[in-house]
Amino acid sequence: MNKIGVFFLAIFLSLVIVSAVESTIEQNYRPGETLIAEISGNFINPLTSENILFYSGRLFVPMVYDLIRINDKYYVYAILPNKERNYTMIISDAKYLEENQEKTGDLEFNFTVKGNLSAFQINPGVIVTGKDFSIKATALKNIELEADFTNSSQNASLIDSQTKTFFFTISDVKKTGLEYVVFSSQDTYYNVPVMIYKNQTVEDREIKLIFSRKNYNFSIVREQEFGFEVAIFNTGKENISEVNFSSSSQIKIFPEKTSLDSGELKTINLTMTSSEIGTQTILLTASSGNYSKTTSVTLTTFDTPEELLAADNTTEIITEESCSSMGGGQCAEGEECIGTNRYALEGWCCIGTCKASGTSSSGKVIAIIVIVIILAGIGFFIFVKIKSRKQSSSKLLEEKSADFESRYKPMKIAGNLSKF
């Protein structure tokens, strides 16, 4: 092969290598460990933390995590659950080049959480800053912990569940660049990337709200009220005292405001009706101060339940299951569900037991039976008493009559005269 051919082959191979999306996510992690990984690739649109979702099978798993871009790479960290199972990190709606072809879709990275509990976990696992910073370490067992940064070292003895905040100064860092904080204890080791900007301001990253999905896509029936849940998650390090919810359409939101602690997930109940056949997009916004995040609800409305079920579409039907297929039943008017309410083909479905508000119907029946028995007992007691008294009076009268007759019995004498 001539030099020109070798040159173009090298360019082609380099393009293929650069354009492929790669990650340093490992196959196995220990329960409670902090996942720290790099993601590299030729992304056409920048990634944000909203692109990152964690699932176990089809179940959305809330985690404290973040995604930060440093130079031409992305760094993700996540505090993993203590539960052993298989997980998937999804980069949703990614637009990237692969083999020089533009692609759009979800990227999935599978890993497993299993084995012995991690010695400790850290938060955050990636930092971008222009000033002194801190990292929290939480022990998951009794440990001796060491933290090294630039030319300084810190040590601490931590007991199980104890959290210590380590403070670091950037005074010894001379120029803008990537540094690392090394945490180590027993068999657990973290290399935390810290992007330091000298004499530059950095965007405040404390407030981090995300919806569990960037878009909700539902089908409903015209003029019928439908309800569903939207999950929102605080992935930031700080508690948020007030989060307000608003919508671009006439939609009932409950609650309209809430608070979210760091790492907390809450569900918001949405109820809506639609009188227009067709598809519409509704925006739902969560805001705190000047910070806001938005998700969209694509709503497709059909005229009848039959049309909805017969439709060949890719939307999620809010009424996609019948109540019986869920293993539940519908509560009658005046009854409440003792269990979980889910929306089904027929309307609200109780996965549990339906009971009358206040006293249950079976309780009322039992109460009535008990009252009848008590009244019958009282009546029988009174009847026996009265009868007993009557019998005693008659007997006493008979005895007195017999006594009188025995005392004053007439004697017969001559002349047929009687003498008393």
C-alpha to C-alpha distance for 198 and 109, rounded to whole angstroms? 34
Sign (positive or negative) of CA dihedral 177, 182, 183, 188? positive
Q: How many CB atoms lie within 10 A of CB 104?
A: 10
The answer to whether position 355 is within a domain reads no
CATH number, domain of 253, equals 2.60.40.10
pLDDT at 130: 86
Domain for residue 418, yes or no?
Answer: no
Strand partners, 108: 90
In a domain, 104, yes or no: yes
**Same domain assignment for residues 125 and 171:** yes
DSSP bridge pairs for 375: none
Could you tell me if residue 191 is inside a domain?
A: yes
Could you please report the per-residue DSSP string of 350-405?
EEEEEEESSS-HHHHHHHHHHHHHHHHHHHHHHHHHHHHHHHHHHHHHHHHHHHHH
Same domain, 213 and 310: yes
Do 201 and 223 reside in the same domain of the chain? no
pLDDT of residue 357: 67
Overall residue count recorded for the chain in this entry:
420
pLDDT at residue number 418: 38
Instruction: Tell which residue, 291, 337, 343, has the closest CA to residue 322.
Output: 343
Phi, psi of 259 (to 5 degrees): -115, 155
The residue type of 242 is E
Same domain, 303 and 223: yes
- 225 vs 220, 252, 313, 319, 352, CA distance in Å? 9, 10, 21, 11, 22
The CATH number given to whatever domain includes residue 125 is 2.60.40.2950
**CA dist 248 → 194, 218, 220 (Å):** 39, 17, 18
Residue 143 is predicted with a pLDDT of 95
Task: Assess whether 102 and 36 both reside in one domain.
Answer: yes
Q: Measured at the alpha carbon of residue 408, what is the angle toward residues 404 and 413, in degrees to the nearest 5? A: 155
pTM over 0.85: no
User: Which residue segment(s) compose the domain that 296 sits in?
Assistant: 209-318
79 and 175 co-located in one domain: no
* Whether the Cβ atoms of residue 190 and residue 147 lie closer than 8 Å to each other: no
Residues 97 and 51 in one domain: yes
Pair 200, 214 in one domain = no
Could you say which of 285, 318, 351 is where a domain stops? 318
pLDDT value, residue 141: 93
Residue 188 shares a structural domain with residue 135: yes
The enclosing domain of 79 has a CATH number of: 2.60.40
Whether residues 304 and 223 share a domain: the answer is: yes
pLDDT of residue 237: 65
Kindly state whether residue 298 falls inside one of the protein's structural domains: yes
How many CA within 13 A on the CB side of residue 406? 6
User: Using an 8 Å Cβ cutoff, are 209 and 291 in contact?
Assistant: yes
Give how many domains the chain has, as a whole number: 4
Could you state, in chain order, the average pLDDT of each consecutive group of 10 residues for the chain (420 residues)? 45 43 93 94 83 88 86 90 93 83 89 95 91 93 94 93 94 90 92 86 60 74 78 76 80 82 77 82 82 80 80 56 71 75 63 70 60 73 61 54 53 41
Q: Which of 172, 205, 238 is the last residue of a domain?
A: 205
Say if 77 falls within a structural domain: yes
Whether residue 342 is contained in a domain is answered as: no
Same-domain check for residues 230 and 253: yes
Cis, bond preceding 124 (omega within 30 deg of 0): yes
179, 183, 189, 193 alpha-carbon torsion, rounded to 10°: -20
- For the record, the structure tokens of 369 come out as 């039976």
Q: Looking at the structure, tell me whether residues 105 and 128 fall in a common domain.
A: no
Distance CA 198, CA 201 (A): 8
Domain final residue pick, 318, 349, 378: 318
